[in-house]
Structure 1
């Protein structure tokens, strides 16, 4: 692979204009196609085959005039009078009516439901209708009144009320800015009259907006780090150019994919975040190697060597990230699969750009690649000491002096390896402890920031009607196959049959089935509604044939409460018992049940996915480094990094440590498993770039048969020298990646903030504690066992020359051959010169004679 990449880098350097034009055409072509064909992203989180999804289909089958509840873009408008006042006061009741009228007149595609209107007017109408209908069905008056109370639109103290409606769009993410502007305008009408008006619901969420400041800040900090790394403004700018091109192509490709796939609106955010970080880092690794090589070889050869050696590590590192992200498909959750695939695509583009566009840009810059130097930075001489005639040997000497500074830390670790190892394991282990209290959920109004209207609406509803009003369960009952002879239903069914016969009006089979269905509904209400975790449950709709019903279950706790998802498990157990004894089919759906099922599925998949990626890491590193212990240490370090990242995230974002996070809440459900995949990939990046340098030096030492004994043995020297050569670029890469991720904490949406924080924490722990401490310390302690591998295992594993040893031998051989030919030509030239001189002298002598 190294030789192929050498040819690719060499060709890209020479054919610079061809390569640059091809990338620009690709960027423009994908951009134009995405603008013409893209259909936009959605905000639907679901897992095919989930019970809650099947229940939503039951609604469509039995109530064909109703929309799938998962796709409803509902809006809830909440009104609150000032403390000490009620909504019945004329000024506030009139303000509510003005808001409702404005909504009717200005909101495009507004769909009125039974609960839409001035709640002070609609509420008594709904109450009267419910009591009338349920008492007509034979339910006790007390039950009917309790049901009416449960769906009341006005709080008991008359201070808080709400109304709701739907928007005529295919799904929530299709809500436009025009819709939001009209709703906000209506809310301002009420606020102007002194009324508190807040809006929430799936149809009134904040759109996924990416502030450009995050990318700008990330690029700005990365530029500063690159300047301190290379000491050159030109070199610092090249990785930024390649990263921007890479994320441009990646993000536009994802947008184009929406023409053929239903993608979640979180998908491009994570791809951009990750693509920007790795895009800069991969170019940094290759450019850093190029700086080392161009002083020894012609620039186009140095570019080929840089791509062949560092580029090999980039390819391997990129593949590990891609495989880790693609492995998210093993979880079996489509939206997570596409998120991983989109991020993997962006990483693949970043690798391709680094291998081709970067050497082309280096060819374009030529001798100015490391031009516009900043004195006193990155080893550049200060002005007063600057030597305009500095030779390459002098420049290399300054570079060697900088490298030797990196040996200080490695030698310090060598002196106290046990202490360093213990501190890293105990420190990261302690940070991992809070992760045991991890709580997960999906975004909702109840977890939005406290200063948002969505969160205020949820808090007002919880205050006026109890927290469970924000977490309703929709229970769908299909009784088309009800068992009319079931023992649990027979008292009611037999009684109805006997009563009809006594009246001389025997029931038909259809009527008997309807009676049995009614009895089954009562049993469902009795068994599910009497749970201590359920505040109330009631039947609110029935199909035309009476053989299907919809019921509203209101839990005691809210959607962000850790106990709410547990209700679903108890309901499932009771559901199975009812189905087995009556023959009916029960489905439970709604935002809260769906979130609970997704969270449960993701939580169950995490150990399996973790086992896959750790096992993959060990196998890949086993192949690359031909060592048993190096992969095991890397796996341990990865687990410590992930655990510490989880712990820090839980401490700050879930528990609200020190009050830094104003709205602590459960962690978004898919963040942990995605964090595992990304951290794994990045951890392997740093492991490869750091340890490959150690392996490269160890191989060169063991190849010397006449190596003189010194202060360090071969393993210790290779760790120290390899660390000093690789640690600086790894440090710069980690700082860049951390700065990019931290910059996304400035985004407005909470889950994007959490992703940025968690990924930054993961990189921080892995790069600066695991790779800089645990890895060299463990190698010093293991000694020669570091590179031990059984012969039988070494024979069956494929060989991957990631350090470019074969390429280095080939280049050195070519250089020696070239030097030998040059020496021969020089000797021949000297011989020709001597011959000419002899002939000339001989000629003069003959003339004199």
Structure 2
């Protein structure tokens, strides 16, 4: 592979304009396709094959069109009276009328208006209707009264009330800004009248907004780090250009893909974060190697050798990241699969751009590749003074310190990262909802008002679907209810029909017996009488773990009811759908982690021909990702020191995605550091230099680390800066991703790769590079360091590795 990459690098250098024009044409063509074919992204996180999704299918079968209510654009308008007053005053009632009237007059696309209007007027009417209807069906008055009271839209103390409607659009994500503006105007009308008015619900969520400033900040910091690394303005420009081209092409492909695939609106944000980070780093590695080789080789040969050596590491590192992201498909979760594939494709493009456009830009700049030197930086002289030379690099001093106290370094790393991992035990996961929005948003305040006036469970309704087609008329559990219907002389109901109706009533009674259920009631019955909908309100809210436990209890109870009555029970609703997604993601994490870590260990075995290097790399990754998780939980979920305005459960897909991205990037630094170490060890034949005070393993670690530390440090800082810059985004879950990924890279690059790994190598000695002979013969050989390519230059004493490459800049 090194030979092939050598030819590619030197050809790209010599044919710079062909390469540059080709990338411009590709970028323009894909960009044009994106502009023509792209469709809007979605905010949905639904997945197939979960119990709640299956229940929706049952709901649609028995109640045609009812399944759409799970993703309907429902809006809640919530009113609170001025302090010390109630809403039952003429002034407050008139103000509510004006708010409702503004919505009615300006939003013509609304439906499900049975509970829409002034709640002070329509709530008593609805309650009376429910009471009359249920008592006429033969239900006890107490039951009818409780059901009617539960549907009240005005709190018991009269201070809080709400009304609800649905915007008639395809889904909650299709609500337009004009429609949101009408609702905001209505809220202001009520506020001007002295009321507190808030709005929430799926139909009034904030649209996904992505600030372009994050990318600009990340690129600006990356440019500064590159200037410090190379001491040159010209050299700092090239990695930034290649990253922008790679990300631009990746985004254009992603936008084009929306024509055929429905993609979540967080997908491009995550792809941009990862694409920028790896795009700059991969070009940086090649450029750094080019600078070293250019001191002894011509431009084409230096570019070829840099691409053949550092480029080989780029290919392997990129492949590892690609596999880690693409492997998200094993979780069998549609939106997560597309997120992983989109990011993986962006990484693949970053690799291709780095391998071709970087040497082409070097050819374009020619002898000016490191022009625009900054005085006093990277060894540049200040003014007319002499060029500043550092007798020993900081990397060399650090690795020699690690050599003196390797046990201490390992202990400090394990203990510090281990302690930071402890908060992971408190990890809670959820999907975005009104109750996870920032405190100062109207969505969060509307949900809190609803909870204050009607209980936490008002924001976490569940829906049970009872299919009683096969209800058992001989069921002992249903016998009292069946007898009550069939024993009346005037009754004409058949035993089977009685069993069906009885199964509905029996289910309601059983659900209401659960301690954690505030209320359950029958809200709809199918036309043929074989199915029913039962609304269930838990006592806890949507972000409360108790609600998850209540849902599990309902499913267990449903199975018991099914066994006792013959009816089948399903549980759905927005709360249940989100719960199932969260649990599917949590359940997929162990398998995913095992697959990516196991695969990487195999790949590292092939590359480094060592047993211990992959094991240390894998264990180190677990430490770094655990610490990143722990601090993320501590800050964003537990609200450490008030650093974030609204602590909340972490978004459900963050942990598994963080594992994939951090793991892939961790292997990047592992490859770039350890290949330089192994390169020195192999070239020395497993022996140290005659004048060396170190043995062969120690010398290879020190020399390899000293050569790679500066560029790996720069790459890590750039990647951290790109990720942390996304904390500037307005949406909390994007901020959390930036924070967690930044921490993951920080811990893995500096704690694991630059401390734990060299310390472990020093302690292991020659066991570092040991592998059984049978395994060495079994595994394919990959020259990722480009050792044979370099030997060709040295043995021939020539400045050319290919006779076709003329010596010119």
TM over 0.5: yes
Shift in Å, 1:795: 0.4
Change (3 A) 1:488 1:703: closer
Alignment of 1:194-213 (within 5 A): 194-213=194-213
Match of 1:526 in 2: 509
Q: Which residue does the alignment assign to 2:806? A: none
Distance 1:311 1:620 in 2: 17
* Residue 436 in structure 1 maps to residue 425 in structure 2: yes
5+ residue gaps, structure 2, are 804-809
Partner secondary structure for residue 674 of structure 2: helix
The equivalent of 2:135 in structure 1 is 135
Deviates more, 1:131-140 or 1:67-76: 67-76
For the 8 Å contact 1:57–1:68, the answer to whether it is kept is no
Distance 2:550 2:656 in 1: 24
Deviation, structure 1 residue 272: 1.0
Is 1:454–2:443 an aligned residue pair?
yes
Match runs of 1:341-352 below 5 Å? 341-352=341-352
Question: 1:847 corresponds to which residue?
Answer: none
Partner of 2:626: 643
1:563 pairs with 527, 539, 546, which one?
A: 546
Q: Does 2:639 match 1:656?
A: yes
Query: What do the CA deviations read for 1:418-461 (whole angstroms, capped 9, x no partner)?
Result: 10111001110111011111111111110110011111111111
DSSP-derived class of the 1:138 partner: coil
Tell me if the contact between 2:80 and 2:87 (Cα under 8 Å) persists in the aligned partners. yes
Question: Partners in 2 of 1:352 and 1:82 — Cα distance?
Answer: 63
Deviation at 1:551, TM superposition (A): 1.3
The separation in 2 between residues aligned to 1:703 and 1:161, in whole angstroms, is 79
Matched residue, 2:762: 780
Within a 5 Å distance, the mapping from 1:167-566 to structure 2 comes to: 167-386=167-386, 401=390, 404-499=393-488, 502-503=489-490, 506-507=492-493, 511-566=494-549
Deviations along 1:700-729, one digit per CA (max 9) or x if unpaired, are: 12267x942520011111101100111111
Deviations 1:333-366 (A, max 9, x none): 1111111111111111111111111211121111
Cα distance in 2 between the residues matched to 1:586 and 1:403 = 72
Per-residue Cα deviation, 1:299-320 (whole angstroms, up to 9, x for no partner): 1111111111111111111111
> What is the CA distance between 1:513 and its match in structure 2?
3.0
Further displaced range: 69-78 or 718-727 = 69-78
- SS of alignment partner, residue 551 of structure 1: strand
Q: C-alpha distance in 2, partners of 1:762/1:555?
A: 37
How far, CA to CA, are the matches of 1:633 and 1:726 in structure 2? 19
CA distance in 1, matches of 2:800, 2:551: 76
Equivalent position to 1:693, from 669, 676, 689: 676
Question: 1:402 and 1:142 mapped to 2: Cα distance?
Answer: 89
Cα distance in 2, alignment partners of residues 305 and 818 from structure 1: 10
Give the alignment partner of residue 794 of structure 2, picking from 792, 803, 812: 812
Q: Which residue of 1 aligns with 2:700?
A: 718
Partner SS state of residue 209, structure 1: coil
Cα shift at 1:814: 4.7
**How far apart, in 2, do the equivalents of 1:226 and 1:686 lie?**
17
Contact 1:14 1:360 in 2 (8 A): yes
- Given the alignment of the two structures, is residue 30 of structure 1 paired with residue 30 of structure 2, yes or no? yes
Q: Which residue of 2 aligns with 1:152?
A: 152
User: Matches of 1:164 and 1:307 in 2, distance apart?
Assistant: 62
Aligned partners of 2:246, 2:575: CA distance in 1, in Å?
A: 38
Q: Deviations over 1:271-316 (max 9, x none)?
A: 1111111111111111111111111111111111111111111111
Structure-2 separation of matches of 1:175 and 1:308: 52
CA distance in 1, matches of 2:322, 2:520: 48
Deviation at 1:466, TM superposition (A): 0.7
1:751 to 733, 743, 752: 733
CA shift for structure 1 position 733: 0.7
Contact 2:555 2:570 (8 Å CA) reproduced: no
Q: CA deviation at 1:267?
A: 1.2
Matched, 1:732 2:711: no
The match for 1:608 among 573, 578, 591 is 591
Q: Secondary structure at the match of 1:372?
A: coil
SS for the counterpart of 1:68 is helix
SS in 1 for 2:111: strand
Partner of 2:653: 670
Partners of 1:103 and 1:478 in 2: CA distance: 38
Q: Which deviates more from structure 2 when the two are superposed, residues 439-448 or residues 607-616?
A: 607-616
Q: CA deviation at 1:494?
A: 4.3
Shift of the alpha carbon at 1:112? 3.8
TM (norm. structure 2) is 0.97
Residues of 1 paired with 2:225 and 2:431: CA distance? 36
Deviation of 1:187 after TM superposition, in Å, equals 1.3
For residues 232 and 402 of structure 1, what CA distance do their matches in structure 2 show?
A: 21
1:63 is aligned to 2:47: no
Name the counterpart of 1:795.
777
Q: Aligned partners of 1:335 and 1:97: how far apart in 2?
A: 42
Q: 1:521 to 1:248 in 2, by over 3 A?
A: same
> TM-score, structure 1 length as denominator?
0.92
Q: Bigger shift: 808-817 or 234-243?
A: 808-817
SS at match of 1:552: strand
Shift of 1:555: 0.4
Partner of 2:807: none
- Counterpart secondary structure, 1:207: coil
Contact 1:379 1:402 (8 Å CA) reproduced: no
Q: Distance in 2 between matches of 1:651 and 1:65?
A: 43
Please give the secondary structure, in 1, of the residue aligned with 2:68. coil
Distance in 2 (CA, whole Å) between partners of 1:570 and 1:382 is 73
Deviations 1:773-807, CA, capped at 9 Å, x for gaps: 10111011111111001000000011111101121
CA separation in 1, counterparts of 2:719 and 2:278? 7
Deviations 1:724-766 (A, max 9, x none): 1111111101111111111111111111111111101111111
Q: Choose which of 575, 593, 614 in structure 1 pairs with 2:576.
A: 593
- Partners of 1:116 and 1:628 in 2: CA distance: 68
Q: Hey, what's the Cα distance between the residues in 2 that align with 1:424 and 1:794?
A: 32
Between Structure 1 and Structure 2, whose CA radius of gyration is higher? 1
Aligned length, in residue pairs:
803
The residue number in structure 1 matching 2:750 is: 768
Question: 1:175, 1:811 → 2: CA distance?
Answer: 64
Distance verdict in 2 for CA 1:130–1:463, change over 3 Å: same
Structure 2 vs 1, CA of residues 337 and 817 (structure 1 numbering), >3 Å: closer, same or farther? closer
Instruction: State the distance in 1 between where 2:287 and 2:90 align.
Output: 73
Tell me how far apart the structure 2 counterparts of residues 165 and 28 of structure 1 sit (CA, whole Å). Answer: 45
**Residues in 1 aligned to 2:380 and 2:261: alpha-carbon distance in whole angstroms:** 52
Q: Hey, what's the Cα distance between the residues in 2 that align with 1:458 and 1:528?
A: 25
CA contact (8 A) 2:686 2:696 kept: no
Structure 1 residue 473: Cα displacement: 0.3
- Tell me, in whole angstroms, the C-alpha distance in 1 between the residues paired with 2:466 and 2:41: 32
Asked if 2 retains the 8 angstrom alpha-carbon contact of 1:242 and 1:358, the reply is yes
Q: Is the contact between residue 235 and residue 369 of structure 2 (CA under 8 Å) also seen in structure 1?
A: yes
SS of the residue corresponding to residue 199 of structure 1 reads strand
Deviation at 1:246, TM superposition (A): 1.1
Residues 635-685 of structure 1, C-alpha deviations (whole Å, 9 max, x = no match): 111000011001100110111111111211111111011111111001100
RMSD across aligned positions (CA): 1.8
